Amino acid sequence: MHDSQITRRRFVLTAVAASTVAVAPASWLPENIARADGTDDAALTRLARLLFPHAGLADTVYADVMEILFTTFESDPAKAQLLDTAASALDAQVNGNWFDADEDSQISAIRNIEGEVFFAAILAGVRGIFYYHPGVWAHIDYPGSSKEHGGYKHRGFNDIGWLPEGE
């Protein structure tokens, strides 16, 4: 698994008391999210689940998606700060620790920052990884690549049986 010393240092939880909430380092960002050893970070997983709440989809899938996002972002200087920024903005919205807030407050905090450029980038990133994730595909019955199976010509592209006939 990709080792990310620099990012870990950047994301290390610092208990620095800042003068305003808006610039305080987010209290819930992980030092180490969803590594191969299974250490999930509950807050990022929670964020992903609130964005795309599929009932019955395992937390491990959400955690894996955020892990991939994290790795992608950290290798791109333009994006490396985005999660930091978003976390601080969410904390500011709830005047404290976003992760500790109740679900309604967590959601309205996200709604309040969804117009921000940094959040749009995160949302696009999560969406791109999430809806290409094999765990999500399995959950919603999307089978992916079809050319190795000869397409759907003989596998049900026209098998719908419930439409009104001859109206």
Partner 1 sequence: MAKQYALDDASVVVVIGSGAGGGTVANELAQKGIDVVCLEAGSRLTLADVENNPPAMDAKMGWYDKRIGAFLWVCKTVGGTTMRWSGISPRLQEHEFRVLTSYGQIDAGTSLIDWPVTLEELAPYYDRAESKMGVSGTHGIPPSEESNNYKVFKAGALRAGYKQVTSERLAINPVARDGRPGCQQISFCHSGCAIGAKWSTLYTEIPKAERTGHFELRANSMAVRIEHDKTGKVTGVIYRDQGGELHEQKARAVCIAGNVVETARILLNSESALFPQGLANSSGQVGRNYMRHTFGSAIAVMPKPVNLHRGARQTGVLFDEQHHDPSRGFAGGYQLQAIGLNPHSISNSIGDWGTGHTEFMQNYTKLAALFITGEDPPEADNRISLHPTEKDANDLPVPVIEYRNHANTDAMRDHAIAASRRIYESLGATHFWGGDAPVGCHNMGVARMSADPKDGVTNRWGQAHDVPNVFVSDGSVFSSSGAGNPTLTIVALAIRQADHIAERMKRKML
Interface residues with partner 1 (CB under 8 A) are: 50-55, 107, 110, 114, 123, 127-128, 130-132, 136-137, 140-147, 150-153, 155-160, 162-164, 167
Nearer to partner 1, 38 or 164 (CB): 164
CA dist 98 and 102 (Å) reads: 8
Closest approach of Cβ 151 to partner 1, in Å? 3
- H or E, element range at 134: helix 134-139
Nearer to partner 1, 24 or 94 (CB): 94
- Residue 94 CB partners (closer than 8 Å, separation 6+): 101, 105, 106, 109
Side-chain half-sphere of 101: how many Cα atoms within 13 Å?
21
- Residue 99 CB partners (closer than 8 Å, separation 6+): 27, 28, 42, 43, 46, 106
Nearer to partner 1, 34 or 49 (CB): 49
CA dist 45 and 130 (Å) reads: 12
Closest approach of Cβ 125 to partner 1, in Å? 12
Nearer to partner 1, 31 or 76 (CB): 76
CA dist 30 and 99 (Å) reads: 12
Closest approach of Cβ 141 to partner 1, in Å? 5
CB-CB neighbours of 18 under 10 Å? 11
Nearer to partner 1, 6 or 151 (CB): 151
Closest approach of Cβ 68 to partner 1, in Å? 12
Closest approach of Cβ 75 to partner 1, in Å? 15
